[in-house]
Amino acid sequence: MISRNIGICETGNGVKKPKSAVDKQGDKPDQERGGQPPILPVVEQKVVQMPQQEQINPKEELINKNKINVFEKNENVVAVEQEVTEEVIKEEDKITLQEIEQFKKENTDRVNKVKEECSKFLAGEKMDFVKVLPEHVKKVHPRVELFTISKEKNLSWCRSGKIGTTTWSVLFSRIFGQDELSSRLHMQAKKLEREMITSAQKRGTINSLRKPNPINRGMVAARHPIDRLMSAYKDKIARRRIILNGVNTKSLQPTFAKFLEVIVKSAPAHQNKHWKPNWVLCNPCMYHYTFILKMESFDRDSGAVLKLINSGIDTKINRFNASKHPAPTDYVKMLEEVDSATLEKILSVYYLDFKLFGYDIQPFINILDSKRASEKLSGLNSV
């Protein structure tokens, strides 16, 4: 949970006070430093009374210590106006047995879906738009640094950019026993991991995921490919956190269409990790994952995994900036300025992500057909 009030701080006994009520000589009132409160003047025989401190229920204070706070935060940006605070766990915040069972059922379906689609693809079955060869997929190996591993909880997470990576970086820091979060959340999780596992052990654990039924539990997260591309565009390109020539240099106003036009010019393996296809990043056709999370049910899925691995974290996950009631996406409008040639290449590059993780590609094929027809008609009219 996030408090946006800059002027909130904590005194020694855990009571939150405005900074105006905190003196400058050590950021504690005189009473808390063991001194006496200042003598107040008597005006017309009326004594000015000091405000009483807010009392905290001891039971609530105990619950506070167990509250997990997870938020999305950019890796290289220190959000100085935000402060991580703790709140009481309510019953509705806890992951329920019913939700865990729902996840387990859906997760089994997801794992089986990946196996089925990979089997068809690797066997050479003809698929629309796919220009990627099975031989290429067989040679793709996830980079070691993409994984974060907890030996204690037997969990190996392959991170895919723009799919809850900040949230799970925080969670792994908690799993590693770190309650104090730094401003660089991703780096903190990686540093803690290095204290828990050697490079050789990490490589061995990752390689073990290539076995059909690995002893080590792998985890990967999936997101609708077009939604993921739009998220990467808004966060990295529109805000100029990543500069792409021809898209968002100082003299250019970035657009989603320009972004797509540029990224399809590079081979999938050479794309930036924030929008590189998931089949390249984590390659679920060659590496076997026990848990597959979906962005569409990310909070529940994450909470269920935490429970299933006995993490000691007993709440659902509330991602910062996550909309509680997201409006349906108008993909026709989103792709309005994208020409048919670019869209066809996008569908080809991300086709496996659609198929492996159960996202319907047909609406985008329909949009592509409509663009082709419109461009053909426009060409005839211009003659």
Give the per-residue SS3 of the chain. Answer: CEECCCCEEECCCCCEEEHHHCCCCCCCCHHHHCCCCCCCCEECCEECCCCCCCCCCHHHHHHHCCCCCCCCCCCCCCCCCCEECCCCCCHHHECCHHHHHHHHHHHHHHHHHHHHHHHHHHCCCCCCCCCCCHHHHHCCCCCHHHEEEECCCCEEEECCCCCCHHHHHHHHHHHCCCCCCCCCHHHHHHHHHHHHCCHHHHHHHHHHCCCCCCCCEEEEEECCHHHHHHHHHHHHHCCCCCCCCCCCCCCCCCCHHHHHHHHCCCCHHHCCCCCCCHHHHCCCCCCCCCEEEEHHHHHHHHHHHHHHCCCCCCECCCCCCCCCCCCCCCHHHHCCCCCHHHHHHHHHHCHHHHHHCCCCCHHHHHHHHHHHHHHHHHHHHHC
pLDDT at 91: 53
| 49: in domain | no
Out of 56-60, 95-99, 352-356, pick the least confident.
56-60
Which tokens hold the place of 96? 């329920």
| 21: in domain | no
> pLDDT class for 342, splitting at 50, 70, 90?
very high
pLDDT at 49: 45
State the residue range of the domain holding 219: 92-377
Share of the chain above pLDDT 90, in %: 62
C-alpha span between 8 and 83 (Å, rounded): 9
| 298: in domain | yes
Q: What is the pLDDT of residues 150-178, one digit of tens each?
A: 999 999 999 999 999 999 999 999 999 99
| 64: in domain | no
| 305: in domain | yes
pLDDT at 314: 67
> pLDDT class for 92, splitting at 50, 70, 90?
low
C-alpha span between 88 and 144 (Å, rounded): 38
Share of the chain above pLDDT 70, in %: 71
Out of 60-69, 198-207, 210-219, 361-370, pick the least confident.
60-69
pLDDT at 133: 86
pLDDT exceeds 90 at position 181: no
pLDDT at 260: 98
| 83: in domain | no
| 138: in domain | yes
| 192: in domain | yes
C-alpha span between 209 and 215 (Å, rounded): 8
pLDDT exceeds 60 at position 322: no
Residue in the structure block whose two tokens are 């609406």: 363
> Distance between alpha carbon 54 and the CA centroid of its chain, in Å?
36
Average pLDDT in the chain: 80
pLDDT exceeds 60 at position 374: yes
Q: Are 134 and 122 in contact (CB under 8 A)?
A: yes
Burial class (CB in 10 A: 0-12, 13-18, 19+), 76: exposed
Q: Are 171 and 193 in contact (CB under 8 A)?
A: no
Residue 47, strand partner residues: 42
pLDDT exceeds 50 at position 318: yes
Tally of structural domains, the chain: 1
- Nearest-Å Rg of the Cα atoms of the chain is 26
